[in-house]
Amino acid sequence: MPEPAQQTLGLRCPVCGGARLRVAYTRKKDDYIMRVRRCLACGRRVVTREQV
């Protein structure tokens, strides 16, 4: 996949469906990692949790 490493594969903006999401910040929790991304198409913030 020719996508930057910052992007999670398969993740899309729930609002516009755009695949280009920039990571705003990452925060480690006890049992998961929370990432806040911003859609480059519509500017919507998208919060994701990734299990570790």
Per CB under 5 A, the segment of 4-12, 21-29, 36-44 that binds Zn ion is 36-44
**In contact, 5 and 21? CB cutoff 8 Å:** no
Per CB under 5 A, the segment of 1-9, 25-33, 35-43 that binds Zn ion is 35-43
Q: DSSP secondary-structure letter at 51?
A: E
Among 6, 34, 42, 49, binds Zn ion (CB under 5 A): 42
Note whether 16 binds Zn ion by CB under 5 A: yes
C-alpha–C-alpha distance, residues 13 and 21, integer Å = 7
Read off the amino acid at residue 28. Answer: K
What is the contact surface with Zn ion in residues (CB under 5 A)?
A: 13, 15-16, 18, 39, 41-42, 44
